[in-house]
Chains A and B, each alone.
Chain A
Amino acid sequence: MVDNQHPMIRVKNLCKSFGAKTVLNGVDLEVAEGESVVIIGGSGTGKSVLIKCIQGLLTPDSGTIEINGENVIGMKTADRERVNSQIGMLFQAAALFDSLPVWENVAFGLLSEKRATRSEARDIAIQKLALVGLDAKLADVSPADLSGGMQKRVGLARAIASDPEILFFDEPTTGLDPIMADVINNLIVAVNQKVGATALTITHDMQSAKKIGDRVAMLYQGKIVWAGPAEDVDNSGNPYIDQFIHGRIEGPIQTAVRA
């Protein structure tokens, strides 16, 4: 299933602490080309920290991260930017630039890498907006005037605008109503198929995880405690997974509820 010769993303023994608090404690993860992996786990288990380490927004304490066969830790800024230009990211709260209209948000990566002139970029932006089901009329609107679901869609259009090889989704359905969440899930699946990108999603929404993911990995106390095909999640026989998907308080996972 995982092509060990050339995984798109390979994380080995990754550790990251903030002061005395250890967040990642030896994470191993591989994502093959074209595969969609979903990382699940409770709030505060380090899902976001993991994804930020892979993107280079945080520097891990130890361990290695390879993207497309290249070790990205300690990379020079220029090389890092080259690697990042292959990566698209959908942020949890969309993180749209509110000083720019929608189309410039979508085309931001294209413009900053000078891959297109402004008028070309605008055309591409409108195409990408259509891909996520948004009308061209919205191109000149300010992101602040859009609803949460629409902002997520614009964020998705921005993530795919420069045809990246890798897509990251940070809790794509959080804060959306169930119908809009399903719309976003379907869009992600469609987009993944369309651009053929490798995808890494973090979420705690199990429905979303099963829909988006080929493979699911569960993060708990800084380690991957279970990883397997998405269809095996319901009968994994793993006590952590069972407790998590059924949302029980009793089980091996000690949540902050008692702390």
Chain B
Amino acid sequence: MNFLQTVGRVFLGFLAAAGRLSIFTISAVGHCLRPPFYFRIIGKQMIEIGYYSLPVVGLTAVFAGMVLALQSYTGFARFSAEGAIANVVVLSITRELGPVLAGLMVAGRIGAAMAAEIGTMRVTEQIDALTTLSTNPMKYLVAPRLIAGFTMMPLLVLVADIIGVFGGYLVAVHKLGFNPSNYIQNTMNFLEFSDVFSGLVKASVFGFIVTLMGCYHGYHSKGGAQGVGMATTNAVVSASILILCSDYVLTEIFFSK
């Protein structure tokens, strides 16, 4: 009996959380679409997400491209298919590693910061203060962050794609002795628009997930410093898991086309 009770309680808790998140998401998206828009804040968040994440995302991308070239060389050399390295690098980066790695890095950088900021505003009554000043906190705090998230992530990933492919080029040309123009030729030959585009769609979804999780956990945090810490952890963990799950789902959708 006790076991059943526990299972039931966990299940009900899960349903309640899913419901809360759904309501929050619908409300947040509604506020993204309806005016007034806080352009000043949207701009500030865009710079925070798009510009200040460049170094960390760029570094991740360049090393991912480099290690990809090295690893695929090890594999392909066993059956003399070294020529396919350029192809493997560019497809993996644009379709998969660019958006996923950038998404995870941004989850750590931006999702955590958002949860901490909004969570602190919650526990210090700043969110209540917004309401009393006739400002809807969903519109003022959440909507600008979501808008910035799903518009800036594709741009960020586009840059990451280029840097990642360049990382592969560096290793292939300077370490593995490939001919530079051949390598670039191979890269371009096999790359299709849909490869890049599917990666950018993923990036947009990931940007939405990261900012949504950051805002949701921050918004619902309670209980002082400890609560804010927990909100931050939950934001990063849930965003990372959701990124990886939705990555599979999105890939499945793009494959079936």
Residues in A lying within 8 Å of B, measured CB to CB: 52, 55-57, 77, 81-82, 84-85, 87-89, 91-93, 95-99, 108-109, 112-113, 158, 168
Contact = CB atoms under 8 A, between A and B. Distances in A.
B131 A56 contact: yes
B129 interface: yes
A112 B132 contact: no
A91 B129 contact: yes
Nearest to A112: B135
Interface string B116-142: 010001001110111111111000100
A84 B129 contact: no
Contacts of A81: 134, 136
B133 A109 contact: yes
A108 B128 contact: no
Nearest to A109: B133
Contacts of B131: 55-57, 84
Contacts of A85: 134
A120 to B, nearest CB: 17
A218 B129 CA distance: 25
A92 B135 contact: no
Nearest to B128: A57
Contacts of B130: 97
Interface string B84-100: 00000000000000000
A89 B132 contact: yes
Contact of A87 (B121, B132, B136): B132
13 contacts: A55-B132, A57-B128, A57-B132, A77-B136, A81-B134, A84-B133, A85-B134, A93-B124, A95-B125, A96-B126, A96-B129, A112-B140, A168-B132
Contacts of A52: 128
Contacts, number: 52
Chief secondary structure at chain B's binding surface: helix
A116 B129 CA distance: 20
Query: Which of B121, B126, B130, B140 is the most central at the interface, judged by chain A CB atoms within 10 Å of its CB?
Result: B126
A227 to B, nearest CB: 25
Contacts of B129: 89, 91, 95-97
Contacts of B128: 52, 55, 57, 91, 95
Contacts of B135: 108-109, 112
A108 B125 contact: no
A113 B134 contact: yes
B141 to A, nearest CB: 10
Contacts of B132: 55, 57, 84, 87-89, 168
B61 to A, nearest CB: 30
B93 to A, nearest CB: 36
A99 B129 CA distance: 14
Contacts of A158: 133
Contacts of A112: 133-135, 140
Nearest to B129: A95
A97 B134 contact: no
B125 A93 contact: yes
Contact of B133 (A98, A99, A108, A168): A108
A91 B127 CA distance: 11
A97 B126 CA distance: 6
Nearest to B117: A99
A92 B125 CA distance: 9
A201 to B, nearest CB: 15
A89 B127 CA distance: 13
A134 B49 CA distance: 36
